[in-house]
Amino acid sequence: MLVQNKKIAIIGGGPGGLTLARLLQLKGCEVKVYERDADQNVRQQGATLDLHEESGLKALIAAGLLDEFKKHYRPDADKLRLTDHNAVVHFDDHANKVEAEPNGASFRPEIDRGPFRDLLIASLAKDTIVWNSKFVSLQAKDDGWDVLFENGETVYADLVVAADGANSKIRKYITPIAPVYSGLTIIEGNIYNAASNAPNLWKLARGGKIFALGQEKSIILSTKGDGSLSFYTGTRETEDWIKTSNINFDHKEDVWNWFKERFADWSDEWHELFASDESYFVPRPQYHFPADQQWESLPNLTMIGDAAHRMPPYAGEGVNMAMLDALEIAEQLTAQDYTGTRTAISKYEMSMLRRAAEITEVTLQSMKNMHSKEALKFLIDTFRLIR
């Protein structure tokens, strides 16, 4: 095995990095995950995750974690309601009496980020994760790397895998290819105790998701098992809008005032998103890498997930791509028929880049359609085909 007796460092403890660590440990590899969070109890933000049979679930099965996953996923959280900008429902999964087949294309089970991360962590050997390890830099040493962290620690690794997300600090050691602004900016928000703080929207979501489309804008709502409601607004803004808008996103009133103006042509039903102080807001300009990106593979460094192929979240592929990346690189590194790690990494990266190119194009087209004048019709037609 190529990586037998080699030290492997995974930078980033998200689903992709943790899945890779699990898969490598099953093969007897020596692996550590270096995560910038202070500990496991840091609150997991963001919407729920839906796993796809051909990617996320495939990796989960290979990791031997499907049974554990079934204990924690939320069976009705994938139910979707499509509304217009006035909160009028035009499509409702809850009215569909035919349940999704467990092995069918429409079976995409949802799980909250926190419980999912916890079950992945629990599957790893004790002390696999080194917390409070914020990456600073790499320095070449022998045939591997010295990895430097902000806390002053330095560790040596024969192989480093970047799993450090969309704003990866390691990607630059592999390629200078920069991301491209998509033209869309998301405001991510989360409302805690939503049944009390946003009761009408909580009821409208019915324990699942809402896609609200209209006037070339969008709001996506996701209920979570902890009783909170996460949401993403989607609007076309200039790339420098976050700086030029003079909005303090730590102040609810600033964001609220922006929303009332930007979504003035939407129903007041959505104002409930800002009714409570038990909330947070984060601006996220949406970038993607060029679909035709290529680079020369290295023998001791590669990347998975958003670090390799960041894209907007309009096809639900982010976590799934990261987990499939983890599965494919693990298979290549533990194969018996290669003479060196460069060959294994090259084969993985060629496959990953082909997949990423296809999904990037699909995602960008979906994003465009969802913010077009005929957005609602497009999405209704789409879901009627696959449901």
Question: Would the pLDDT of 24 be above 60?
Answer: yes
Amino acid identity, position 176: P
Q: Report whether 43 belongs to an annotated binding site.
A: yes
Parallel/antiparallel/unpaired status of strands 129-130 and 135-141? unpaired
- Residue 41 makes CB contacts below 8 A (sequence gap 6+) with none
CA distance 152 to 146: 12
Banded pLDDT at 250 (limits 50, 70, 90): very high
Angle at 13 between CA 145 and CA 18, to 5 degrees: 95
Does pLDDT of 210 surpass 70? yes
Going along the chain, which residue ranges are E strands? 7-11, 30-34, 49-50, 80-83, 89-92, 110-111, 129-130, 135-141, 144-149, 154-157, 159-162, 180-191, 209-214, 217-223, 229-236, 279-288, 301-303
Exposed/middle/buried for residue 146 (C-beta within 10 Å: 0-12, 13-18, 19+): middle
| pLDDT confidence band for 97 (50 / 70 / 90) | low
Could you give the residue ranges of the DSSP H alpha helices within 230-340? 241-244, 252-262, 306-309, 318-333
The least confident of 54-58, 111-115, 206-210, 352-356 is: 111-115
* Environment class of 304 (CB within 10 Å of its CB; exposed 0-12, middle 13-18, buried 19+): buried
- CA of residue 10 relative to chain centroid, distance: 17
Average pLDDT of every residue of the chain: 93
Measured CA distances, 146 to 9, 140, 344, 352 (Å): 10, 6, 22, 26
pLDDT of residue 383: 80
pLDDT of residue 119: 96
The percentage of residues in the chain with a pLDDT greater than 90, rounded to a whole number, is 83
pLDDT bucket at 314, cuts 50 / 70 / 90: confident
Q: Is the pLDDT of residue 90 over 80?
A: yes
107 confidence band (pLDDT: 50, 70, 90): low
What digits encode the pLDDT tens for the residues 165-194? 999 999 999 999 999 999 999 999 999 999
> For residue 1, is pLDDT > 70?
yes
For residues 48-59, give the mean pLDDT: 91
**The pLDDT of residue 106:** 46
Note the residue count of the chain: 387
Domains of the chain: 7-73+110-176+290-367 (3.50.50.60), 180-288 (3.30.9.30)
**Mean pLDDT for the stretch of residues 56-80:** 91
Picking from 100-114, 262-276, 367-381, which range would have the lowest pLDDT averaged per residue?
A: 100-114
Low-confidence winner among 31-45, 113-127, 217-231 (lowest mean pLDDT): 31-45
| 268-290 residues labelled b (16+ CB within 10 A) or e (exposed) | ebbebbbbeeebbbebbbbbbbe
Q: 206: annotated binding-site residue?
A: no
pLDDT of residue 105: 42
113 marked among binding-site residues: yes
DSSP letters of 33-71? EE--SSSTTS---S--EE--TTTHHHHHHHTT-HHHHHT
Confidence label for 44 from pLDDT (cuts 50, 70 and 90): low
Q: Mean pLDDT throughout 25-52?
A: 88
Q: Is the pLDDT of residue 375 over 70?
A: yes
pTM of the model: 0.93
pLDDT, position 25: 98
Q: Which residues contact 368 (CB under 8 A, 6 or more apart)?
A: none
Instruction: Compute the 3-state secondary structure of the chain and give helix, strand, coil in percent, each to the nearest 5.
Output: 35, 25, 40
How far is residue 74's CA from residue 47's CA, in Å, rounded to a whole number? Answer: 13
Q: Is the pLDDT of residue 47 over 90?
A: no
Please check if 236 is assigned to a binding site.
no
Mean pLDDT of 233-262: 97
